[in-house]
Chains A and B, each alone.
Chain A
Amino acid sequence: MGFFSTVFGLVGFGVGISSGLVIGYYLFVYFQTCDVKDPIVRRLVEHDSENLHGLLPEIPFWVKNPDYDRMDWLNRFIQVMWPYLDKAICKTAKNIASPIIAEQIPKYKIESVEFESLTLGSLPPTFQGMKVYLTEEKELIMEPFLKWAGNPNITVAVKAYGLKATVQVVDLQIFAQPRITLKPLVPSFPCFANIFVSLMEKPYVDFGLKLFGADLMSIPGLYRFVQELIKDQVANMYLWPNTLDVQILDPTKAMQKPVGILHVKVLRATKLRKKDLLGGSDPYVKLKLTESKAPSKKTAVKHNNLSPEWNEEFSIVVKDPETQALELIVYDWEKVGKHDKMGMNVVPLKELPTDEAKVMTLDLLKNMDPNDVQNDKVRGQIEVELTYKPFKEEDMPHNTENLGAVQKAPEGTPSGGGLLVVIVHEAQDVEGKHHTNPYVRINFKGEERKTKQLKKSRDPRWEEEFSFTLEEPPTKERMHVEVCSTSSRIGLLHPKETLGYVDIILADVVTNKRMNEKFHLIDSKNGRLLIELQWRAS
């Protein structure tokens, strides 16, 4: 008897609870509106102190911390732009989703899946502060604090077996602090090659998920579970040190690294036109690659000769064989005054075969304008032998992935030893008493190296690289680095001056493999010198 009543009781409870749930659903949940309303944002002045207390944890970082910057202007910008962004994003999302949906639904016997409404709401993402870090490396690091507490309304209606179910996402809130690193910096627009994004902390995610109008996220425990799940998923992918990499430029191209060498042999010229009034001309040839900053190369001057033979060889570094061209200009040397141009021609490098010598005979022209009538005149010809040798793949530095990484020492370095590479980047606030034309002199084990001299510059940038091959790691040595200046005028009282020096202990370099540090100069008021040292052990 007791047993039966218990069973009946349980069955009754089961029936009761299901009917209760259904009735309760219709009573309480069904008639709840599913519309998303704009939250009423009252002005702060109207808030009472109780509300203000609720506000305190959300105070933006720039108020609390001096190292964060305010970005309200950007917030205002986004706010005005938001309605347009909203429309554009939703439209794009729909366009992307609809073909995928159309492809997938036949598999699951679903009649249709469609967006009943799709809008990101009226509240734009906001930046609550921006922090930047300065390092000595060629990179920009910034950390914006992004908070999006929006009121989107994304309703997906699924129809299957004659029934319609709606899933609605409301009140999406995402707070994240991504670290955006732009590196390496390169001298061509947009001036950086890669963007790395990673999250410094697990993001905060919150939202309402309404199934048939009931917010599943309100079920105690479920919300926490889902939130943790999402956080972990995102964290697995993007939490520091994991990063999202976006390549903007091909760094090797952007850095304009040399990709090959062009060997030019200037053989001879024939039938040059006479320019001098008395005697023959004194021709010489000037060679230059277009779009290159390197100084042009010159052959010797052949005096009084209209069919000169030079047979001189030159090698020129090529950075982009697709666009660069070799420019040959024949000049007439003059003792006094300007050297006259006798003719010129241009050979685009892409027309050359690789690794193969090619002898070319070129007509000399006045200029490269094909329509200029003056080019019809015969100015003679020039004969050159051209060989373009691109660097082999293995010669190319494979440091696209991590430019900060130290390369291996080249072959031929004694075992146990290695290559010490010194890169002189720049100096700041160097000032001489009489002149400031700074260059850097490096003294190491009796060897002396110099950078080129920069004229009248208090903040010179050299970006020059030197290397020393060593028998053994320089654990006990020091390197003497000195910034010097010489007067541009000759024979004055102060021909040379030291702007400051620093002695670098190299043991640290050997243990760290790479150091990029700003040294304060000794015997200088406020001078600093940025030097990078690398130890490439074999």
Chain B
Amino acid sequence: MGLISGMFMGFLFGIALMAGLREMMRYRGRKRITKAADIKLLSSLNRDDLIKICGENLPEWISFPVFEQVKWMNKQLNKIWPFVADAAEAVIKESVEPLLEEYRPPGITSLKFSKLSLGTVAPKIEGIRVQSLKQGQIIMDIDLRWGGDPDISLAVEAALVASIPIQLKDLQVFTVVRAIFQLADEIPCISAVVIALLAEPKPRIDYTLKAVGGSLTAIPGLSDMIDDTVNSIITDMLQWPHRIVVPIGGIPVDTSELELKPVGKVTVTVMKANELKNKELIGKSDPYVVVYVRPLFKVKTKVIENNLNPVWNQTFELIAEDKETQSLIVEVFDEDIGQDKRLGIAKLPLAELEADTAKENELRLLPSLDMLKIKDKKDRGTVTIQVSYHEFNKEEQLAALEDEKKTLEARKKLKEDGVIGSTMDALDDAASIVGSGVGMVGAGIGTGVGLVGSGLGAGAGIVGSGFGAVGSGLTKAGKFMGFGGSKRSGSTTPVNSIQENEGAKPLQT
């Protein structure tokens, strides 16, 4: 009796224990899961959520800007800045100098940092926004503002003038940096980072240039040239869609997805211009047109002298890398002795183009693309172009990529040989040489031959500028370049091969 009742009691007790354990398990499990869900929920709150929790009167220190504030990071940045500045100086020097060299405008033979110190004011991160628009990618936008007091001196060497140190002062950088992280399954989980400056809002980089122990007017147009160089570097290297791809962590990853690739071909026929402004005192302007998508690949038409309604009818092909954000830039110049004057500039966003249909566009010329810099409303005439856009298929894309590489290499070579002053020169077509005659060497391109290391000194320089005055085939490249004697005769050959066919596409696609 005792045995049975004992067994029965024990049995019940055991089952009850287990039932109790199960209840406990369930209870605790539920509790943990609720907590997990709560914490997950609280990890990203928006305004409405908080109002729901706290009621209408939120604490004053809470705000929800689009770009989330990072006060803590700014505090730390301020503190660590002197050390970062010290460490960064060497790195910047190493990485930026070759860049300056590549984008160096014609007319300057050497552009180097002679002094570089980043100053005491740290950049400020106004905010950070993180989004993920594509599987396996995180996009981080950092709103960066730097009103710094860096002490940067550039040693500029131009032909005719010995090295002049130029000081960059009152640097102000307002920009949104976009970093795209490509995720991977291996530690550190990021296989590559893409860095670019967002085009919208447009990066603002302001500075004043000051010549140390001299005046900037010693070289006319120098400050414009440096502006141009800085601008080209930024728009052509960093500004979205252009980007820098940095592979990380030794994981062999195919980053070609992330790189900017040619996606299409823009065929532009520069037809004519109407009612251009006259910039010359005697006679009329001698207009020509420069067309480009990227400033690294500029093409230009022949010069039509003494005409305010010129007709060119020349066709070029240009490569587009990102149809959504890139634009076709059309600049009209007046060819002049010394520096060519810009008669106007116009922009045609590629996004407006339809695939494979030629369309005529009449564009109004503006003094500048930067709306803030436009001060007058004067009519500058129009330029008419016919544009068609062709999207590449895979094979064409590869071919275009190859071509682009070749062109760049060829240019680099030309540059090394001293034929063109800079990779930035617009490639000329033969017409301008023929037109100007005068036995001028390879006009636009040839003029890039500076006094690079020729050591002829000022005397030769004067002779050089004398030459310059005679030449009417001078392009922008010839702004204040003399001819470097020894190299001059040989410089025509490689250029002519490109210039052979009139109205051709200097940039084969």
Q: Which A positions have Cβ atoms within 8 angstroms of B?
A: 4-25, 27-29, 32, 39-45, 47, 52, 54-56, 58-60, 62-64, 66, 69-70, 72-77, 79-81, 84-85, 87-89, 91-92, 123, 126-128, 130-132, 134, 140, 142, 147, 149-151, 170-171, 173, 185-189, 191-192, 206, 208, 214-215, 217-220, 223, 457, 459, 461
Stretch at the interface among B178-186, B351-359, B429-437: B178-186
Contact status A81-B13, CB under 8 Å = no
Q: Which residue in chain A gives the minimum CB-CB distance to B76?
A: A140
CB <8 Å contact, A171 and B36: yes
Q: List 5 A-B contacts (CB under 8 A).
A: A17-B17, A21-B15, A42-B41, A173-B32, A173-B36
Cβ < 8 Å to A, chain B residues 70-91: 70-72, 75-76, 79-80, 82-84, 86-88, 91
Residues 128-170 of B contacting A (Cβ, < 8 Å): 128-132, 136, 138, 140
Structural contact, A206 and B128, CB atoms closer than 8 A: no
User: With A13-B7, A44-B53, A47-B52 known to touch, is A73 a contact of B14 (CB < 8 Å)?
Assistant: no
CB contacts (< 8 Å) of A14 on chain B: these are: 6, 10
Among candidates B15, B79, B181, residue contacting A23 with C-beta atoms closer than 8 Å: B15
A12 contacts across to B, CB distance below 8 A: 2-10
B16 CB contacts on chain A under 8 angstroms:
20, 24
Do most interface residues of chain A lie in helix, strand or loop, or is the interface mixed? helix
By beta carbon, the residue of chain B nearest A28 is B22
A59, B42: Cβ atoms under 8 Å?
yes
Asked if B395 lies at the interface with its beta carbon under 8 angstroms from chain A, I say no
- What is the CB-to-nearest-CB distance from B436 to chain A, in angstroms, rounded to a whole number? 39
B15 to chain A, nearest CB (A): 4
CB-based nearest B residue for A7: B2
Are A32 and B22 in contact, with the CB atoms below 8 A?
yes
Q: Which of B25, B35, B72, B75 contacts A215 (CB 8 A)?
A: B25
Contact A88:B17 (CB < 8 A) given known A45-B49, A131-B72 = no
On whether the beta carbons of A6 and B2 are closer than 8 Å, the reply is yes
Q: Which residue of the partner chain, among A191, A217, A461, contacts B28 with CB atoms under 8 Å? A: A217
Contact B11 A60 (CB under 8 A): no
B43 contacts the other chain (CB 8 A): yes
Is the beta-carbon distance between A218 and B87 smaller than 8 angstroms? no
Residues of B within 8 A of A171 (CB): 29, 32-33, 36
Residues on the A chain within 8 Å of B42, using CB: 55, 58-60, 126, 128
Q: B50 at interface (Cβ–Cβ under 8 A)? A: yes
Contacts of B101 in A (CB 8 A): none
**Are A16 and B86 in contact, with the CB atoms below 8 A?**
no
**CB pair B48 A45 closer than 8 Å:** yes
Stretch from B61-69, B299-307, B339-347, B380-388 forming part of the interface with A: B61-69
Query: Inside 8 A of A32's CB, which chain B residues have their CB?
Result: 22, 25
| Residues in chain A near residue B12, CB distance under 8 A | 16, 20
Which of B38, B48, B128 has the most chain A CB within a 10 Å cutoff?
Answer: B38
Residues of B within 8 A of A131 (CB): 72
A16/B9 in contact, CB under 8 A: yes
Task: Tell me which residues across on chain B come within 8 A of A60, comparing CB atoms.
Answer: 42-43, 45
Nearest 5 Cβ contacts at the A-B interface: A20-B14, A16-B10, A12-B6, A24-B18, A5-B2
**Which residue on B lies nearest to A137, using beta carbons?**
B79
Q: A5-B1, A44-B41, A151-B36 are in contact. Are A63 and B50 (CB under 8 A)?
A: yes
Q: What CA separation (Å) do A10 and B82 show in the bound complex?
A: 80
User: In the complex where A72-B44, A80-B183, A218-B28 touch, is A45 in contact with B52 (Cβ < 8 A)?
Assistant: yes
Closest CB in chain A relative to B91 CB, distance in Å: 7
Judged by a CB distance under 8 angstroms, whether B54 is at the interface is yes
Assuming the contacts A72-B43, A218-B21, asked whether A9 and B6 have C-beta atoms less than 8 A apart, the reply is yes
Q: Does B219 contact A (CB under 8 A)?
A: no
List B contacts of A173 (CB < 8 A).
Answer: 32, 35-36
User: Given the complex of chains A and B, what is the CA–CA distance between A55 and B49 in angstroms?
Assistant: 12
Task: Determine whether B218 belongs to the interface, using a CB cutoff of 8 Å to chain A.
Answer: no
- Knowing A63-B62, A75-B43, A187-B83, say if A21 contacts B6 (CB, 8 Å): no
The distance in angstroms between the C-alpha atoms of A63 and B54, with both chains bound, is 9
Of B15, B34, B82, most A-chain CB atoms within 10 Å: B15
Given contacts A21-B14, A27-B18, A142-B72, contact A75 B44 (CB under 8 A): yes
Q: Which of B284-304 contact A (CB under 8 A)?
A: none
Q: Which residues of A contact B189 (CB under 8 A)?
A: 81, 84-85, 88
Q: Is the CB of B38 within 8 A of A185?
A: no
In the assembled complex, B120 has its CB within 8 A of some CB on chain A: yes
Residue on A nearest B137 in the bound complex, by CB: A80
Q: How far is the CB of A296 from chain B (nearest CB, A)?
A: 16
Contacts of B83 in A (CB 8 A): 185-187, 191
Which listed residue, B10, B37, B72, touches A130 by the CB 8 Å rule? B72
Interface size class of B (residues with CB under 8 A): 35 or more
CA distance in complex: A87, B188 (Å): 11
Partner of A76, one of B4, B44, B120: B44
Flag if B187 contacts A88 (CB, 8 Å). Answer: yes
Q: Do residues B185 and A91 form an inter-chain contact, with CB atoms below 8 A? A: yes
Indicate which residue in B21, B33, B87 contacts A219 across the interface (CB closer than 8 Å).
B21
Query: Inside 8 A of A21's CB, which chain B residues have their CB?
Result: 14-15, 17-18
Known: A75-B44, A88-B186. 17 other contacts (CB 8 A): A17-B13, A28-B22, A29-B18, A39-B40, A63-B50, A66-B60, A84-B184, A128-B43, A130-B72, A140-B80, A171-B29, A187-B86, A188-B86, A189-B84, A215-B24, A215-B29, A223-B28
Instruction: Kindly identify which residue among B11, B35, B87, B130 contacts A189, using a CB–CB cutoff of 8 Å.
Output: B87
Q: Give the chain A neighbours of B138 by CB distance below 8 A.
A: 77, 80-81
Q: Which residues of A sit under 8 angstroms from B371, Cβ to Cβ?
A: none
Cα A13 to Cα B5 with chains together (Å): 8
Most buried by B among A11, A20, A91: A20
Instruction: Kindly list chain A residues whose C-beta atoms are within 8 Å of the C-beta of B80.
Output: 140, 185, 191-192
Contact status B187-A92, CB under 8 Å: yes
Chain B hits for A214, CB < 8 A: 21, 25
For B63, the closest partner residue in chain A by CB is: A70
Report the minimal beta-carbon distance from B217 to chain A, rounded to whole angstroms. Answer: 24
Residues in chain B near residue A55, CB distance under 8 A: 38, 41-42, 53
Chain A residues lying within 8 Å of B8, measured Cβ to Cβ, are: 12, 16
- Most A C-beta atoms less than 10 A away, residue of B6, B37, B53, B59: B6
Q: Which residue of B lies closest to A4 (CB)?
A: B2
Q: Determine if B61 and A66 form an interchain contact, defined as CB atoms under 8 angstroms apart.
A: yes
Is B282 among interface residues, defined by CB-CB distance under 8 A? no
Which residue of the partner chain A has the closest CB to B39? Answer: A149
Chain B residues near A126 (CB, 8 Å)?
39-40, 42-43
Residues B32 and A191 in contact, CB atoms below 8 Å apart: no
Q: Are B120 and A457 in contact (CB under 8 A)?
A: yes
B488-507 CB mask vs A (1 if < 8 Å, else 0) is 00000000000000000000
Name B140's closest neighbour in chain A (CB-CB): A77
B24 CB contact (under 8 Å) in A15, A54, A218:
A218
Closest to A46 in B: B52
Q: Which of A10, A16, A127 contacts B14 (CB 8 A)?
A: A16
Cα A215 to Cα B29 with chains together (Å) = 9
Indicate whether B374 reaches chain A with its CB closer than 8 angstroms. Answer: no
Interface contact A41-B41, CB-CB below 8 Å: yes
Q: Choose one: A9, A58, A75; the contact of B5 (CB below 8 Å).
A: A9
Q: Given A21-B18, A215-B25: A52 and B52 within 8 A (CB)?
A: yes
- Given that A77-B140, A140-B80 are known contacts, is A13 also in contact with B6, CB under 8 Å in the complex? yes
How far, in angstroms, from A328 to B83 measured CA to CA in the complex? 30
Tell me whether B19 is interfacial, beta carbon within 8 Å. yes
Residue from the set B14, B27, B138 with the largest chain A CB neighbour count within 10 Å: B14
| Most chain B beta-carbon contacts within 10 A, residue among A6, A84, A192 | A84
Interface string of B183-199 (1 = CB under 8 A from A): 11111011000000000
Instruction: Choose from A187, A192, A459 the contact partner of B120 (Cβ within 8 Å).
Output: A459
The answer, among B13, B75, B128, B190, for a CB contact under 8 Å with A20, is: B13
- Shortest B478–chain A CB gap in Å is 29
Could you tell me the distance in whole angstroms from the C-beta of A418 to the nearest C-beta in chain B? 30
A223 to B31, CA, bound (A): 14
Q: Which residues of A contact B3 (CB under 8 A)?
A: 8-9, 11-12
